[in-house]
A and B are shown apart, each in its own frame.
Chain A
């Protein structure tokens, strides 16, 4: 099924989701929600890659997305483990209360 939607719209959607994710990272204080917003940004970037790959008749973008997902999965595992540890140690996962690494 050939897409008759020009790629620019997909890219705009991707940019919008990316920006929303960035806003989420900056606004929210819950560490897990911030993590989720980062995953959203990943996802938006994947969309860009697939769009480019489709409209250039290539599969390189597809495979890049494959690896991005792999990395995201590994990162999720380790990152959430760190959050658990943080909660155990500090009792909270609000990022503005976890600020010992300062001058």
Chain B
């Protein structure tokens, strides 16, 4: 069964080809397109589940030793040999499950959401292509194939953000996303080059086996460059600017690409390279600091936005910061855990936002909403579940994952109290702005126009069923990772342990109190680790509750206060509201100078040198022709002289 892993990315690829070529050529009916796209994903998901169960049946040590499934040699040139191969181990199969599963539900949702759009076929073709690329990324067994998937998802992101390219804003947003991603990809590429130069191979097995031969500086540089790639793809400081603009795309796209899957590739990549990162504590620290900083920075911007999708976008950036914080302190499985739960609740939040927009006839501004919880109940309740999850309320999935991250930030050998503090503050802000979103959108007096008010309705079942499924997952998805301290057995962590536990520092983290059997935890050098953890857990829950209460106060009870606060702290408000003017800063510094460089090169080099060079060649030919034609004198005796000259020369060679 495991050797059929190559089918998982294949089905969406076939779906893409079918929808992109055949369906568009023959203008097939929308139902066929929808069925093909969704069943491709369904088959992918099915196979992921089957392979997951095959993997589970192996012993834990054997799970990481499954031989890579190699399809064929891709590049064989000199010293470089790369293959098209897929790796099946706990990490990749979990990613495959998350990607194919969430994509499957979002595909079903899109059938309803995009029903009236003229680009229906194109949409599903691109969406299938995206899933194909993403699955290639997570299942690849070497850096180069992973990079192919990496670039591929960037491409699909561009195509889907700029889906309504006839309008300027989406087109520009797509370009921005692609270019910013490219900057990050450059770092990734440099890292790949370095890896190849030093280790001679690009396959994961080979690289990680030989990693110990690298010196500290090289490993640090490689990991930092890889992290640059991750910041681009996963929207961390300083390359996060594309994600808020990416909300111009269709909402299911935002849900799939910019919440659940593509933006998590950076986290996956760092988790996959955990051996390299464990050898470079400096890089880990950088990752953790950037992650924490991004978490709180993005959360601050989410406090004041009133476009639903913008709030969710900043929330995504913030939660990605948490994931990077987790891998930065060495808690790789915690990062992946949060990746999974985040995919559930954030994906759900975006789909819910889409449902709200559907109900409010395309309105996005929360100030023009309100009081719709009764008229769109399924949307409301699923949104509520997701909000509880993201806020970290106990019992919901987000609680378990976020809490594990905060605990590791505090307690692990790579962690620091400050990191925990920043994370906790950001958690509070998250709870606050998410509930602000919930309250303003669903509660209170309805501030919409009369026209819109009349049409408020629940979405059709094809859209609400995925909402319900994702809500269920947001609720129970966390129970695979109940920390030991609460009496559970962290299945998730156990499952991923072989992948992350194979190195000294990793062993230190992985062998944390969470996995040890109950009786060995006492006094094993952790000294009161359990009680500390419970304490911190309580603190984070308290912070969340405080945040919710403040939101309740400001947006349900005394709704005139926010405006007055805004007046009093006008400058601060303006700065934060305008996203700290970062976009303008980038434009002035990078964008304009690049444009000027480009224009300069165009005029001086492209026109001046290259065009002139080509013209020069033509002119030389013309001149040469003008000179040579004088040989044609028309006088026969001149030609005879030439013949005799030729004869002289030839005989010269013959009699030597």
Contact = CB atoms under 8 A, between A and B. Distances in A.
A56 B430 CA distance: 110
Interface in A84-102: 95-96, 98-102
The winner among A22, A26, A34, A103 for most chain B CB atoms within 10 A is: A103
A102 B637 contact: no
9 contacts: A25-B640, A26-B640, A26-B641, A96-B635, A99-B633, A100-B634, A101-B634, A102-B632, A103-B629
Interface string B627-645: 0011011111100110010
Contacts of A99: 633-635
Nearest to B629: A103
Nearest to A25: B640
Contacts of B637: 25-26, 34, 95-96
B644 A102 contact: no
Contacts of B632: 101-103
4 closest A-B pairs by CB: A102-B634, A99-B634, A103-B629, A103-B632
Interface of B: 629-630, 632-637, 640-641, 644
A103 B633 CA distance: 7
Given A103-B629, A103-B630, A95 B635 contact: yes
A82 B636 CA distance: 15
A72 to B, nearest CB: 18
Nearest to B630: A103
Contacts of A101: 632, 634
A22 B648 CA distance: 12
Nearest to B628: A103
A101 B634 CA distance: 5
Contacts, number: 29
B625 to A, nearest CB: 10
B641 A102 contact: no
A95 B639 CA distance: 12
B372 to A, nearest CB: 89
Nearest to A29: B637
Contacts of B644: 22, 26
A100 B516 CA distance: 106
A50 B109 CA distance: 101
Nearest to A95: B636
Nearest to B626: A103
Interface string A15-54: 0000000100110000000100000000000000000000
Contacts of A22: 644
Q: How big is the A interface, by class?
A: 10 to 19
Interface string A58-102: 000000000000000000000000000000000000011011111
Nearest to B631: A103
A102 B631 CA distance: 9
B633 to A, nearest CB: 5
A85 to B, nearest CB: 16
Nearest to A102: B634
A26 B637 CA distance: 6
B633 A102 contact: yes
Nearest to B635: A99
A103 B630 CA distance: 7
A32 B644 CA distance: 20
Contacts of B635: 95-96, 99, 102
B244 to A, nearest CB: 71
Nearest to A96: B635
Contacts of B633: 99, 102-103
A103 B644 CA distance: 22
A34 B640 CA distance: 11
Nearest to A99: B634
Contacts of B641: 26
B627 to A, nearest CB: 11
A31 B640 CA distance: 13
Nearest to B636: A95
Nearest to B632: A103
A22 B646 CA distance: 13
A102 B638 CA distance: 12
A96 B629 CA distance: 19
A98 B632 CA distance: 13
A27 B472 CA distance: 110
Contacts of B629: 103
Contacts of A96: 635, 637
Contacts of B634: 99-102
Contacts of B640: 25-26
A96 B638 CA distance: 10
B107 to A, nearest CB: 74
A103 B632 CA distance: 6
A34 B633 CA distance: 18
A34 B635 CA distance: 13
Contacts of A95: 635-637
B364 to A, nearest CB: 76
A99 B635 CA distance: 5
A34 B634 CA distance: 16
Nearest to B633: A102
A102 B636 CA distance: 10
B584 to A, nearest CB: 67
A18 B637 CA distance: 17
B34 to A, nearest CB: 73
Contacts of A103: 629-630, 632-633
A94 B479 CA distance: 112
A32 to B, nearest CB: 13
Given A22-B644, A26-B644, A99-B635, 4 more contacts: A25-B637, A34-B636, A96-B635, A103-B630
A34 B641 CA distance: 13
A22 B636 CA distance: 13
A10 B637 CA distance: 29
A99 B633 CA distance: 7
Nearest to B637: A26
A58 B636 CA distance: 38
A25 B629 CA distance: 24
Contacts of A98: 636
A23 B40 CA distance: 90
A89 B422 CA distance: 106
B655 to A, nearest CB: 13
Contacts of B630: 103
A95 B635 CA distance: 7
A99 to B, nearest CB: 3
A89 to B, nearest CB: 15
A100 to B, nearest CB: 6
A22 B644 CA distance: 8
A87 B644 CA distance: 27
A96 B635 CA distance: 6
A35 to B, nearest CB: 11
